[in-house]
Amino acid sequence: MESRNASFFEEVFPCLKKEHTSSSSCVDEIVHDEDQEQSEAEEVEPRRSKRQRIEKSFGTDFLTYMVEGEPQTYREAVTSSEGPQWKEAIKNEIDSILQNHTWELVDLPPGCKPLGYRWIFKRKMKADGSIDKYKARLVIKGFRQKEGLDYFDTYSPVTRITSIRLVLAIAALRNLEVHQMDVKTAFLNGDLEEEIYMEQPEGFSALGQEGKVCKLVKSLYGLKQAPKQWHQKFDQVMLNNGFKINECDKCVYVKNTTRGYVILCLYVDDMLIVGSDDKMIKSTKDMLKARFDMKDMGLADVILGVKINRTQNGLVLSQSHYVDKILEKFNAGDTSVAQTPIDTTQHLSKNRGEGVAQLEYSRIIGSLMYLMTCTRPDLAYAVSRLSRYTSNPSSEYWKSMIRLLRYLRYTRNYGLHYGRDPAVIEGYSDANWISDMKDSKSTSGYVFTLGGAAIAWKSSKQTLIARSTMESEFIALDKAGEEAEWLRQFVEDVPRWPKPMSAICIHYDCQSAIGRAQSAMYNGKSRHIRRRHNTIRQLLSMGVISIDYVRSKDNIADPFTKGLSRELVHKSSRGMGLKPFEQVCTKENLS
């Protein structure tokens, strides 16, 4: 029961009953009262429910899940019905650790305390749902490490998804093969600089040395510095074998020789290898196999959940399988479709009332954000807009979310199709002035294409209030120029890229902003955009970018700032290289 009216009887408090009673007697009185109440409560028979008990059955699926659940401990794994399989997986893990000379047995120094460990068990499944293999991983309890004593730096970079798309676009342009490799025990290769001790794993204590501990020589899964040490070791190996690190992405390595060239992208332990010929790719693989325990996966098929499909005219990146999972999980009972991602007549604002299914809403946003980041630029504006209300969604937001899921069902087989041309990077930029009437902020958007498909895109609400349309356009152009500069510097390190580098043309639909950007004149009326004006002028004068006018209906960055009609959505999607994969295959078969 909740009530706004409350009465406080301060004179009833035990210590105030007797004015001359000491504090110690008050405490004794309270303890005595509590003991008396507890004894009385024990004498009273507990109340029992009179409701008839009914035996519940959760079906065979529940029992099967309980039986086939992955074990949580070493003892549970070896004594389960799948004990032989788990024992084999454990043995393979220990063999990898010992072959790599990950630790050495020593006496524990005085004042040191060894870290614990834990076994992680996982079944690797095939696409048809059958078990591929049993995987066991020995993980140290790194959460007990102390900063400044057991570790110092922990940062480890990974390649940007934009870099992966850019490399694949270059592979499609030049008709290069894309191979994939995986490091089996990546984090076990890093050399440790700190002294770290661990308990001996259960079941593998050395005979006669049970009282000793493992002093780690190399990093182990679970250590806070393990990713950093692995990346540092991989850097050393690549540099010692003639590779150079791309200055714009520290996880992209390039080797250029008179015989050919090779480009390698590293994402933790997954890597893509693109070479000018089979010999360069094979020599790179042999070098990596000689230094690390590698798994050669042949031609790249899936990277980071993105399918790589080869066609006669290039490559297609798609996530139709991931779209099916999203729809099956969050929108299974709905069969309707929508031809646009967002309703142009609907205006959303902050919810002041009670939220509706906030956890489910945030899960959908997270899934859609990953999809949009990898292969679906047409979802950028809708996801950006709906994600602003994740903390407290209302029924109106859910209507927009359901519409977006229906659009996803309508375009489930869309993919980015990279072809043989054009072989230049082009950009499109746009802004929508005061798109949010509540906080008076505008929306920026840009997209860059290579080989006929998008390689980089962004849709975001501006962080400051623009005083005019031209200022909002300048803010958007400033962000697009920043991305263009990064792309230009990236391809400068790509072997055989045409030199000198040509400026990246950014297409724009605001003539006043173009005129202002190309003018060196300064007056007091434009002092509020002086910094951005100088930045854009510098990029233009250095030849990093050039600006060209395009009509709004031909600006494929338009859907990144506002909702459009179905005709414009379809047209802009094709301009970004988004096509149904079956349609692409059909056209190639006919040709």
- State pLDDT tens for residues 102-119: 888 988 888 888 888 889
**Per 3-state DSSP, what percentage of the chain is helix, strand, and coil (rounded to 5)?**
40, 20, 35
pLDDT at residue 282, as a whole number? 93
Residue 69 has pLDDT above 70, yes or no: yes
End position of a domain, from candidates 353, 388, 414: 414
Is 299 in the same domain as 373? no
Encode pLDDT of 259-284 as tens digits.
899 999 999 889 999 999 899 999 99
The residues pairing with 306 across neighbouring beta strands, listed in sequence order, are 303
Residue 42 has pLDDT above 90, yes or no: no
Region 506-520: mean pLDDT is: 79
Judging by DSSP bridges, how do beta strands 261-267 and 270-275 pair with one another? antiparallel
CA distance 453 to 446: 14
**Where is average pLDDT lowest: 184-193, 239-248, 492-501?**
184-193
pLDDT at residue 447, as a whole number? 94
Is residue 415 classed as helix, strand or coil in its secondary structure?
strand
Is 390 in the same domain as 459? no
End position of a domain, from candidates 381, 414, 447: 414
Is 262 in the same domain as 324? no
- 141, with CB counted inside 10 A (0-12, 13-18, 19+), is middle
pLDDT at residue 67, as a whole number? 40
CA distance 354 to 536: 45
Q: Specify if 221 maps to a domain.
A: yes
Q: What CATH number should be reported for the domain holding residue 548?
A: 3.30.420.10
Domain housing 324: 318-414
Residue 63 has pLDDT above 50, yes or no: no
- How many residues in the chain? 591
- pLDDT tier at 47, thresholds 50, 70, 90: low
Q: Specify if 533 maps to a domain.
A: yes
pLDDT at residue 591, as a whole number? 42
CA distance 372 to 306: 12
User: Is the Cβ–Cβ distance between 203 and 214 less than 8 Å?
Assistant: no
CA distance 518 to 429: 16
Residue 361 has pLDDT above 50, yes or no: yes
At position 342, the amino acid (one-letter code) is I
Is 402 in the same domain as 472? no
- pLDDT tier at 51, thresholds 50, 70, 90: low
- What separation in angstroms does the CA of 168 have from each of 158, 248, 422? 17, 17, 14
Region 160-173: mean pLDDT is: 94
Q: Specify if 582 maps to a domain.
A: no
- pLDDT tier at 100, thresholds 50, 70, 90: confident
Region 353-375: mean pLDDT is: 88
Is 347 in the same domain as 439? no
pLDDT at residue 38, as a whole number? 45
End position of a domain, from candidates 287, 311, 335: 311
Q: Specify if 556 maps to a domain.
A: yes
**Where is average pLDDT lowest: 200-204, 351-355, 562-566?**
351-355
pLDDT, averaged across the chain: 82
Residue 372 has pLDDT above 90, yes or no: yes
User: Is the Cβ–Cβ distance between 452 and 419 less than 8 Å?
Assistant: yes
B/e letters for 375-410, b = 16+ CB within 10 Å, e = fewer, are bbbbbbbbbbbbeebbeebbeebbebbbbbbbbbbe
Is residue 296 classed as helix, strand or coil in its secondary structure?
strand
Residue 420 has pLDDT above 80, yes or no: yes
Is 539 in the same domain as 403? no
Q: Specify if 177 maps to a domain.
A: yes
Task: Tokens for 516, please give them.
Answer: 């202002």
CA distance 247 to 493: 8
**Where is average pLDDT lowest: 22-31, 142-151, 413-422?**
22-31
**Where is average pLDDT lowest: 190-199, 275-284, 403-412, 450-459?**
190-199
Give strand ranges (E) for 453-542: 453-461, 504-508
CA distance 576 to 585: 18
- pLDDT tier at 145, thresholds 50, 70, 90: confident
Q: Specify if 140 maps to a domain.
A: no
> Angle at which helices 511-518 and 469-492 pack, to 10 degrees?
60
Q: Specify if 67 maps to a domain.
A: no
Residue 530 has pLDDT above 50, yes or no: yes
How many folded domains does the chain comprise?
Answer: 3
In the chain, DSSP finds a helix count (H) and a strand count (E) of 17, 21
**Range picked from 54-63, 124-133, 273-282 for highest mean pLDDT:** 273-282
Is 223 in the same domain as 353? no
Q: Specify if 566 maps to a domain.
A: no
What are the φ and ψ backbone dihedral angles of 261, each rounded to 5 degrees?
Answer: -140, 165
Q: What CATH number should be reported for the domain holding residue 288?
A: 3.30.310
Is 476 in the same domain as 401? no
Is 434 in the same domain as 551? yes
Task: Tokens for 182, please give them.
Answer: 């995986």
Check residues 6 and 539 and name the one with the higher pLDDT.
539
- Quick one: what percent of the chain has pLDDT higher than 90? 27
CA distance 555 to 568: 10
Count of Cβ atoms closer than 10 Å to residue 354 Cβ: 8
Residue 201 has pLDDT above 90, yes or no: no
Which candidate, 112, 105, 101, places its Cα nearest to that of 217?
101
Is 240 in the same domain as 279? yes
pLDDT at residue 523, as a whole number? 59
**Where is average pLDDT lowest: 27-41, 138-152, 475-489?**
27-41
Check residues 146 and 346 and name the one with the higher pLDDT.
146
Task: Tokens for 304, please give them.
Answer: 């980071």
Where do we find the tokens 């290039």?
A: 314
**Where is average pLDDT lowest: 30-44, 143-157, 485-499?**
30-44
Task: Tokens for 375, please give them.
Answer: 């292969």
Is 445 in the same domain as 550? yes
Sheet with 314-318, side-by-side order of all strands: 302-303, 306-311, 314-318, 414-418, 578-580
What are the φ and ψ backbone dihedral angles of 182, each rounded to 5 degrees?
Answer: -135, 135
Which candidate, 518, 511, 549, places its Cα nearest to that of 536?
518
Task: Tokens for 526, please give them.
Answer: 């434009």
Residue 528 has pLDDT above 90, yes or no: no
Judging by DSSP bridges, how do beta strands 252-256 and 197-198 pair with one another? unpaired
Check residues 334 and 561 and name the one with the higher pLDDT.
561
Is 544 in the same domain as 460? yes
pLDDT at residue 15, as a whole number? 46
Task: Tokens for 323, please give them.
Answer: 């779209």
pLDDT at residue 61, as a whole number? 42
- What separation in angstroms does the CA of 217 have from each of 100, 200, 570? 10, 14, 57
